[in-house]
Amino acid sequence: MTRPTNSIHGEWSSRWAFILAATGSAVGLGNIWKFPYIAGENGGGAFVLVYLVCIALIGLPVMMAEILIGRRGRQNPVNTLKSLSSEENASSTWRFLGWIGLLAGFFILSYYSVIAGQAMAYVFRTLSGVFTGVTADGANSIYQSLTGDPERLLAWHTVFMVLTMVVVARGVKSGLEKLVRVVMPALFIMLVILVGYAANTGEYFSQAVDFLFVPDFSKLTQESILIAMGHAFFTLSLGMGAIMVYGSYLSKSSSIATMSVTVSIADTVVALLAGMAIFPLVFANGMSPDAGFSLLFVTLPIAFGHMAGGALFGGIFFILLVFAAWSSAISLIEPAVAWLVENKQISRRRASVTVGFAAWLLGLLTVFSFNIGEGWILFGMTMFGLLDYLTTNIMLPLGGLLIIVFAGWIMAKNSTQEELAIRSPIFYYIWRILVRYVSPIAIIIVFLNKIGLVG
């Protein structure tokens, strides 16, 4: 199988378009909703430190590997891995790695859309002023009234999924760039303002900074290390082919290393800002940092309910969050849609509707996990918890591991060197040592550690 020189889906208009799209994919619910709550559940500082180390030592090299594989293969992840493995005289079994990714993206989208739907519902709640003067208990019961109502959750889940399908059907390149160009800076400014607001809480702000940045290693468990690593993959959209498929639309001349560093830094800064906006409110209102997935939805509304113009400001904040989730959801479904278009010769429109509808159906499990299906427990988790655990902590790190093994051990040195085109040989060698040894060994140790085989 020979590889095409261009993607049939076209190319990004510029290097910036790629950076924007990849940042749009990376920055989403993972940064603003998920990072604060898992940091809270896992004890703060030490967890955050492990997460940051994982971003630098595993996330960044994996991102470079994904982009280079995508750009070289120029097709959806399954076909890309098939043609690159035949070019490198390796087994075509590597295409299954593409399959794991397609499946992970589909699973993630199913629950991602439900949470994004909750954020949509919050746009209207916030704008309506229900949070004015709200207390922690009040905010909590407003959240419960939303999640306890399967019909409402279902309606918002449906709206969000349809929006995602519409963009993907039209081709991700046309609208995405414009959307992200406006949304990302605006979201960033909003978060900075919220951190400024939180800073007014004085002692609680320093308590939050200590909580997030002073590591207490006694709080670190094998489980929390796995969660920190899984989140590094989730937040950077790695291990399932989203960044790979975006890489396949990238022109040859752009520097993969610089772009990966830019995207990773932007993503990390947004997550840390979200943490610094949320935790001071947690402490100032006597709430518990380990409140779980409701954390974002019960803390920020308290701030919006007490600041001048908070209803409008909060409404805009949730609108931006929905947009950020939207640009991530698009990248979750793109690999599967590209696969259908390339292999089944169906139109983009039909492909997006097919994948979107299937993910919507699976999403019902998550919708019900918050209410009538709260008691459907498997392996000690709700259906939503299980889908999240399986994808984030197992499928993405496993996919990422195989991706770097492919880039570091299967692809010839010449191939990766040519694709990365890093001018300084030292940087190329650092990357190569990371993908061949450091990152795979780290991932394997975390896995073995978790199942109790080492450590």
Residues that bind ligand PHE (CB under 6 A): 25-26, 28-31, 108, 234-235, 237, 240, 242, 328, 331-332
Q: Which DSSP symbol is given to 405? A: H
Q: Least separation, in Å, of the C-beta of 453 and ligand PHE?
A: 27
Nearer to ligand PHE, 140 or 248 (CB): 248
Nearer to ligand PHE, 240 or 256 (CB): 240
Nearer to ligand PHE, 101 or 280 (CB): 101
Q: Which of 101, 95, 70, 62 is nearest to 4 (CA)?
A: 70
Residue in this structure with the two tokens 């396949």, named with its chain if needed: 248
Scanning 214-255, the segments in alpha helix (DSSP H) are 222-235, 242-247
Q: Least separation, in Å, of the C-beta of 203 and ligand PHE?
A: 31
Q: Distance (Å, rounded) from C-alpha 77 to C-alpha 89? A: 18
Q: Least separation, in Å, of the C-beta of 328 and ligand PHE?
A: 4
Nearer to ligand PHE, 66 or 342 (CB): 66
Q: Distance (Å, rounded) from C-alpha 17 to C-alpha 25? A: 12
Q: Least separation, in Å, of the C-beta of 399 and ligand PHE?
A: 10
Nearer to ligand PHE, 28 or 305 (CB): 28
Phi, psi of 428 (to 5 degrees): -60, -45
Nearer to ligand PHE, 140 or 391 (CB): 391
180: which residues sit within 8 A by CB, 6+ positions away?
20, 21, 23, 24, 327
- Greatest alpha-carbon pair distance for the chain in Å reads 66
353: which residues sit within 8 A by CB, 6+ positions away?
165, 169
Q: Least separation, in Å, of the C-beta of 441 and ligand PHE?
A: 23
Nearer to ligand PHE, 12 or 204 (CB): 12
Structure tokens at 453: 């085989």
Nearer to ligand PHE, 38 or 284 (CB): 38
Q: Distance (Å, rounded) from C-alpha 257 to C-alpha 71? A: 13
Nearer to ligand PHE, 134 or 177 (CB): 177
Q: Least separation, in Å, of the C-beta of 187 and ligand PHE?
A: 12
446: which residues sit within 8 A by CB, 6+ positions away?
225, 226, 229, 397
Q: Least separation, in Å, of the C-beta of 335 and ligand PHE?
A: 9
Q: Distance (Å, rounded) from C-alpha 155 to C-alpha 82? A: 39
Q: Least separation, in Å, of the C-beta of 183 and ligand PHE?
A: 13
Classify 149 in phi/psi space as left (phi over 0), alpha (psi -120 to 50) or beta.
beta
Q: Least separation, in Å, of the C-beta of 37 and ligand PHE?
A: 13
Q: Which residue is nearest to ligand PHE (CB)?
A: 30
For the chain, what is the radius of gyration of the CA atoms?
21
Nearer to ligand PHE, 184 or 242 (CB): 242
What secondary structure does DSSP assign to 261-323, as a single string? Answer: HHHHHHHHHHHHHHHHHHHHHHHHTT--TT--TTHHHHHHHHHHHHSTTHHHHHHHHHHHHHH
Q: Least separation, in Å, of the C-beta of 341 and ligand PHE?
A: 19
- Long-range contacts (CB closer than 8 Å, 24 or more residues apart) made by 415-418: 415/72, 415/87, 415/88, 416/68
Residue in this structure with the two tokens 């709700």, named with its chain if needed: 382
